[in-house]
Structure 1
């Protein structure tokens, strides 16, 4: 019996690592570029899955994550 493609991918930890890397690296790069230019970045309303990934990688300690856009903008 052959598993669906989704299940096969989940059994390959390197595939998950590549996915996380593709998502987090640009976010961290943006953070560094913005802070060097005296700017800021805040993630508004990340989904539960995205927030879990950010926490696993430690990006949530670097970049502020807020529940809503209003909270992210400080209103």
Structure 2
């Protein structure tokens, strides 16, 4: 794809379509055992398939998961220091 700038709206639409097709190929090629169960794609890319509200929910859930892991790691560290 080689945009010329002569038809920016059409070129942008074509670029978006091409990028979506590439993303779909990546998601399809991703190993089944590593796919996020709720979205069918790689965990880092799952929000791309979601509407904005669902993406926000997924982001919040991921932040909670990370915070829980950090808290568990900190608690484990404190326990081993005693």
TM-score (norm 2): 0.36
Rg bigger for which structure?
2
Higher helix share: 2
- Higher relative contact order structure (alpha carbons within 8 Å, sequence separation ≥ 6): 1
TM-score, reference length from structure 1:
0.38
* Structure 1 or 2: more strand by fraction: 1
